[in-house]
Amino acid sequence: MALRNILIHPDPRLKKQCTPVTEVNKEIERLANDMLETMYDAPGIGLAAPQVGVTQRLLVMDCMKEEGDTPRPMVLINPEVIWESEDRSIYDEGCLSIPDQYAEVERPAEVKVRWMGLDGKPVEEQFDALWATCVQHEIDHLNGTLFIDHLKPLKRQMITRKMVKLKKEIARGRG
Ligand code: K1U
Ligand code: ZN
């Protein structure tokens, strides 16, 4: 397993519609394991393949973030929301591609998702609470959408400007 570099917004690869995974092979297995290691190392509760520069429909997540929780690493290939609740919930979201910026985003409180596991078999599960927020945030990444795209334009521009500045500082070796 290896840590992968997490892309920082703005980056054209974070705005792409990702393509479905057609075959679960060793390369996909390695990508999923690397992404889990990268997510835990960050630390984060989710990570989508475009965030590590791979524009394919794969995400990892583990929302068991409280101390003493048993980890539940999940790998979702070609995930699709097949049902969403009318109830909404608001969560102060963050993103590993937009470091240190948080904002409230409203989303369906519960979603049912279908995906393919690493064994190639279809899986369906209903998510609520933080899991529901996280899986929707990660599926958004697979469609080239960032949580800031849910905000008012002025707030989005303000965050984007901060990220442009941060990337310049990183490039100059001061990040
Ligand atoms: O997709 C990502 O960039 C990961 C992101 C996922 C996410 C966070 C909050 C709401 C929805 C989706 C993160 O993991 S940001 C870091 C974070 O939230 C966290 C980090 C350590 C412990 C607990 C949370
Ligand atoms: Zn994100």
Query: Which of these, 41, 62, 30, 36, lies nearest to 135 by C-alpha position?
Result: 62
Cα–Cα dist 154/156, whole Å: 5
- Predicted confidence at residue 175, as pLDDT, reads 61
126-166 tens-digit pLDDT: 999 999 999 999 999 999 999 999 999 999 999 999 999 99
- Predicted confidence at residue 1, as pLDDT, reads 87
Burial of 26 (0-12, 13-18, 19+ CB in 10 A): exposed
Domain ranges of the chain: 12-171
Which chain residues have CB less than 5 Å from ligand 2, an ion? Answer: 95
Residue 47 Cβ inside 6 Å of ligand 1? The answer reads yes
What is the pTM for the complete model shown?
0.98
Q: What is the CATH number of domain 12-171?
A: 3.90.45.10
35-50 tens-digit pLDDT: 999 999 999 999 999 9
